[in-house]
Amino acid sequence: MQTLIVLGEEEARIALESIRARLADRGQSAVIVVSDAAGEAIALLRMDGAPVSSVVVAINKAFTAARLRRPSGLIGMNARHPETGFEISYYGDPRYVGWGGGVPVIIDGTVAGAIAVSGLSSSEDEELARIGIAAIMAHLDRAV
């Protein structure tokens, strides 16, 4: 028997609120998605002013990060030639993306889910996703 560590509704709300607050402080908007360990969305927030096209992108970034257990921005990169990458269809599922902004949430060495942000630059999206992860980890530390 296995015990699975998976993000739930409470962790999703904590991540969404921490990222939303940071974006509001900056006067920016984006789409935020929190997924479970299988990459399926638990929660989604499209802030006012965020592009509708970023909804599917954020969902797919979270899916990619959770399923492949690494940041989505690393997927399309070729280690020898990072400027060229490789064909993303290699993974066989159109939901996999190679844009930055999806980051797995790792708890006790296990991927428990992922957080993704879309609507800004890849580096800003990833920075914001990591803010959500930090908020979850701080909550878990307080709960122990």
The CA angle 73-129-96, to the nearest 5 degrees, is 35
The Cα–Cα gap between 118 and 142 comes to 29
pTM for the full model? Answer: 0.90
Lowest mean pLDDT among 36-45, 71-80, 133-142: 71-80
pLDDT of residue 21: 98
pLDDT of residue 79: 52
pLDDT of residue 81: 52
CATH number of the domain that residue 61 is part of: 3.30.450.150
Query: Does residue 1 belong to any structural domain of this protein?
Result: no
Query: Does residue 134 belong to any structural domain of this protein?
Result: yes
Q: Comparing C-alpha atoms, which of 130, 104, 101 is closest to residue 116?
A: 101
The number of folded domains in the chain is 1
Lowest mean pLDDT among 56-65, 79-88, 123-132: 79-88
Calculate the alpha carbon distances from 65 to 21, 24, 144 in Å.
23, 25, 26
Q: Comparing C-alpha atoms, which of 15, 58, 66 is closest to residue 38?
A: 66
pLDDT of residue 82: 54
* Half-sphere exposure in the Cβ direction for 118 (13 Å, CA): 25
Question: What residue numbers bound the domain in which 18 lies?
Answer: 9-143
Query: Does residue 94 belong to any structural domain of this protein?
Result: yes
| Band of pLDDT at residue 1, cut at 50, 70 and 90 | confident
Q: Comparing C-alpha atoms, which of 127, 117, 113 is closest to residue 10?
A: 113
On the 0-12 / 13-18 / 19+ scale of CB atoms within 10 A, 128 is buried
pLDDT (tens digit, 9 = 90+) per residue, 21-75? 999 999 999 999 999 999 999 999 999 999 999 999 999 999 999 999 999 988 8
The Cα–Cα gap between 116 and 33 comes to 5
Q: Comparing C-alpha atoms, which of 87, 139, 117 is closest to residue 23?
A: 117
Query: Does residue 130 belong to any structural domain of this protein?
Result: yes
